[in-house]
Amino acid sequence: METMESNKNHNYAPAGAVYGLGFIGAAVYFIVKATCFWGGVWGVIKAIVWPAFLVYEAFQKFGL
């Protein structure tokens, strides 16, 4: 029998899927734009933290 505690992590699955697809898309985008090996490495790092860039730009746009 499942308890509420063992089931609570299932609520975040869609967010993880969206982040994962976003990571793959961002990694492909940044790696294709890279002109050297270290540019590709930097692209992977930027792909990991792309939500932070998105939120920062959104806050600037809305004046928060």
Give domain status of residue 51, yes or no.
Answer: yes
What global pTM score does this model have?
0.65
- pLDDT in the model for residue 45: 92
Residue 4 lies in a domain: no
Q: Do the domain assignments include residue 1?
A: no
Q: What DSSP assignment string belongs to 4-62?
A: HHHHGGGGGHHHHHHHHHHHHHHHHHHHHH-SSHHHHHHHHHHHHTHHHHHHHHHHHHH
Containing domain of residue 55, as a range?
10-62
Does 48 reside within a domain? yes
Domain membership of residue 5 (yes or no) is no
Distance of CA 18 to the CA centre of its chain: 8
Does 33 reside within a domain? Answer: yes
- Total domains in the chain come to 1
Work out the average pLDDT over 13-30. Answer: 85
Segment 29-62, tens digit of pLDDT = 999 999 999 999 999 999 998 888 888 999 999 8
Q: Residue 4: pLDDT above 60?
A: no
Q: Is residue 21 part of a domain?
A: yes
